[in-house]
Structures are given as structure tokens and as C-alpha cells.
Amino acid sequence: MLTIKPSSGPHTGSAIGVGSIMRQVIYALLPATAFGLYLFGWPAVNLLLVTLFASLAFEALCLKLAGKPAIPALKDGSALLTGWLLAMTLPPWAPWWIGVLGAGIAIVLGKQVYGGLGQNLFNPAMLARVVLLISFPLEMTTWADVTPWLTESAPGFYEGLTITFTGLSNPDAVTGATLLGHVKTEWLQKHPLSESLSDFGTLNMWLGMARGSLGETSALLLFAGGMWLLLKKIITWPIPISMLASVAVISGLFHFFDPERYLSPVMHLGSGALMCAAFFIATDYVTSPNTPLGQIIFGSLCGLLIYMIRTWGGYPEGAGFAILLMNSLTPLIDHYIRPRIQGRDRRGRPLEEKMIKGER
């Protein structure tokens, strides 16, 4: 969060604006989203559309109340992206009002009350997800079975509408636990990992053929999308790499010493919200630190918190909580770790004259 106002002097315009960045991020999300829609069928399509539409509607409403022009802000796609990210983290068969309420919390409470795009302290999509998780634990942890499109078990169009708008009639028959949730409940009954993991395959988990949030199941497709963003220079490497590396290193250490209690790094990286959070959520420009060193600290502490919450916390997944906690530390990180000012050293003292002369 930069608070410096540009002074006089030559400034050059950038070819990429907010709109094109948001578009690129949505392109990068498309593969994982499309796969999620394929896996979970019409109810997931309904939920995604409802959430996107509600985000745009809330954005327009807030801008109108604030007396600002709505069309330019809607066109830049930031509200669309917030709604998209939120929908990706929701359980795919969640009822419609979860999407609408979540979009309202993200846009109104997470973004517009602070003054709109660029002013918010917390990532709006994660804020909404955590509010929903705390307030509606039942709806937010009902994970639909994988029922790919065009297979027999997939719900039809009308059945999809019924699931989204009136709720599941037989939740126990068509839902189950995610890998992280299953492992957590099994461990509470003192079952070692070799027993509790027997139903879950590592390859399916990385591909995404597993229960989970709408767009978060496929670690591979999310990783590919993230790599594309890195190539396009929309995001930089410090946050995602430090976050994934810290989870991998910590989980590797614990797994090495007690493989029956602690999940392996392969499992940790491939499941839950980690991949989506590392590339698409923690890298939010507004709520992450400015300097590469600050970003590495931010990313590795995010990873540490995720691992701690997953392993010892009350919830099976902690990406949302971890990112919100680190968002609140971002101003502090930016206060202590600043970019070097031109003509001064890292501590802000002027460079010695002969050094400047020598440079000439």
C-alpha cells in the first residue's frame, strides 16, 4: 500500500492498466474454473453466475451511493475478478444466497467502505469467504461428490437449479469430506495416515478429481495459470514461490520425522486452497507488501500459518485465515522494509559524494 503522491517530473504512462491486468488474471483462472464446472456440473455454473452478477450489482450500487460514475469502474473488471475468486473458493453446490451474501460482504464490507479499489486492507474475496465460513459452517463445508458432466450421476439442468435455489434434499448421499477434512477427523480418532489416506489417490488430487471448492481442486491447472501470470509479468515470483516453498519445507520436515502423523509435502501442495491462494490471492497488489524482501517474508509467513492451521488448528484448511492475518501485517512489513531511495543507501542516509562522482 503506497501512500506516496507522485511529485513533479517525467512520468511515463504504462501500456497495461487495471482493466487489462484483471482480464489477464481471469484468463489465467479459466482452465481451473472450466474444470471445476465440468466436475460439479450445473449447480456450480449457477453458483458462479449468481456470484459474478451479485458482485457487479453490489459494486454498481456502492458507486451510485457514493455518487461516483459506475460504468468505468465496472468495466475495469475488478469487481468481476473479486466475485470470480470468491466463487472459486466456495463449495460447488452451495445455495445461491451464499454467493449473493458473499459477494455483498466482499464488495461492500471488504472493498467499498474503505474507499474502493486500492484502498482496502484485506483481500475482499478471502474476507467474504472467512465471514461465510464462520457464520454458516454447515453450508460452507458441504462438499459435493465429483460428478463429471455427461456422466450418469451428473445432475441435469433442472436438478441443478433445484440444488442451487432450494438446497440439497439428500446431502448425505451425494457429499463427503475433502482430503484435509478427512485426515483431520480420522486423526482425532487416532487413525494413522496410512489407513485414512487409502481412499485418496495422489494423482487424482493433483489433477483435481477430488471433492473441494468450485475452482480449487485442480492444483495442476491452477499452477499452470499461475505460471502464465508469471510469464506475462502480471505477478512476480517472491510471494507464490516463498509461500509454496515454506509449506513444502515445513511439511517435509515434519513428514520426515513422523510420516504416520504428518501429511507429505506432495499432499499439502496439491490439496486445499494453497495453490489458488499462492498464485491468485496472496499476490493481490493492494494487500501485499511492495518490496521483494517484504513479499518473501509475507509469503513464507502465509505458508507457515497455513501449515499450522491445517495441522494443529480447528479447521482443516487455513488459507483464508492465514492470508487475512498476513494482510493485517502488510503495513507493518512495508514500514520496516522499504525500497532504497535514489541517491540514498538502504537506511535512508545520503550516499557519499565521491560515490556519486565515481558513478559519473
Q: Which parts of this chain interact with other proteins (CB under 8 A)?
A: 109, 113, 131, 134-136
End-to-end CA distance of the chain: 34
In whole angstroms, the minimum distance from the beta carbon of 134 to other proteins comes to 6
* Smallest distance, other proteins to C-beta of residue 131, A: 5
Neighbours of 352 (CB within 10 A): 10
CA 289 to CA 332: how far, in whole Å? 9
Distance CA 111, CA 83 (A): 12
Minimum Å distance from CB 172 to other proteins?
19
Task: Work out how close the CB of 186 gets to other proteins at its nearest, in angstroms, rounded to a whole number.
Answer: 27
CB nearer to other proteins: pick between 98 and 247: 98
Amino acid at 190: K
Report phi then psi at 326, rounded to 5: -70, -35
Cα separation, 174 vs 40, in Å, equals: 11
Least distance (Å) between residue 132 CB and other proteins: 9
Q: Which of 299, 281, 280, 279 is nearest to 289 (CA)?
A: 299
- Which lies closer to other proteins via its Cβ, residue 109 or residue 266? 109
Would you say 113 or 332 has its CB closer to other proteins? 113
Alpha helices by DSSP H, listed for the chain, are 18-65, 70-75, 78-88, 96-104, 124-135, 137-140, 157-166, 171-174, 179-188, 193-196, 202-207, 219-231, 238-257, 265-270, 274-276, 292-312, 319-336, 353-359
Instruction: Report the residue number, 102 or 240, with the smaller CB distance to other proteins.
Output: 102
Angle (CA) 170-176-177 rounded to 5° is 150
CA–CA distance, 295 with 314 (Å, rounded to integer)? 27
Q: Give the integer Cα–Cα distance in Å for 106 and 309.
A: 23
How far apart are CB 135 and other proteins at their closest, in Å?
Answer: 4
The cell for 177 is 469430506
Residue given cell 532504497 in the structure block: 340
- Show the cell assigned to 110: 471488504
- What's the CA gap between 296 and 283, in Å, rounded? 11
- Closest separation between CB of residue 130 and other proteins, Å? 9
Q: How far is the CB of 102 from other proteins (least distance, A)?
A: 12
Shorter beta-carbon distance to other proteins: residue 135 or 185: 135
Phi-psi sector, 339: left (phi>0), alpha (psi -120 to 50), beta: beta
Q: Among residues 166 and 236, whose Cβ is nearest to other proteins? A: 166
Q: d(Cα 106, Cα 122) in Å, to the nearest integer?
A: 10
Closest distance of CB 54 from other proteins, Å: 17
Specify the residue, 113 or 356, whose C-beta has the smaller distance to other proteins.
113
Residue 34 vs 113, nearer CB to other proteins: 113
Please, which residue, 20 or 141, has the CB nearer to other proteins?
A: 141
